[in-house]
Amino acid sequence: MAQALFSDEAWYRAAWLDGTLVGFVMVADESQRATPPEAPRIGLWRLMVDHRHLGRGVGRRIVAGVVAHARARGFRVLYTSYVAGPEGPEAFYRTQGFAPNGKVDDDETVAVLLV
């Protein structure tokens, strides 16, 4: 949360399931900067789901909400990145339609989703 408070581009929401806080999402929306770049991008920056609620569709619904937000803001591509490996989130992101774009940023695989 502290990171979001010091970033103009942060868009963040809590995720609730049956009245229980189960997750958090934060998006980096460059169009929200005081001086946006000429071609702003939007990226899924943080996605967290309480381990007790994994496998219940929470992450899928969070991504759907982020996609709806990106579309409403006029974006056509949503970025994310992750650390590759068997314990990482790559399989989840692939099931949501993200595909690696061949780039690596700070040792993380960059993936894109056409929205």
pTM above the 0.85 mark? yes
Are the C-beta atoms of 81 and 90 separated by less than 8 Å? Answer: no
Which residues of the chain form beta strands (DSSP E)? 10-17, 20-29, 42-49, 77-82, 99-105, 108-114
- Number of domains composing the chain: 1
CATH code for the domain in which residue 6 is found = 3.40.630.30
Q: Which domain covers residue 81, as residue numbers?
A: 2-114
Give me the mean pLDDT over the 42-59 stretch: 96
Q: Render pLDDT for 20-41 as a digit per residue (tens, 0 to 9).
A: 999 999 999 999 999 999 999 9
Q: Using CA atoms, how far apart are residues 115 and 102, in angstroms rounded to an integer?
A: 19
DSSP-derived letter for residue 68 is H
Give me the mean pLDDT over the 87-98 stretch: 95
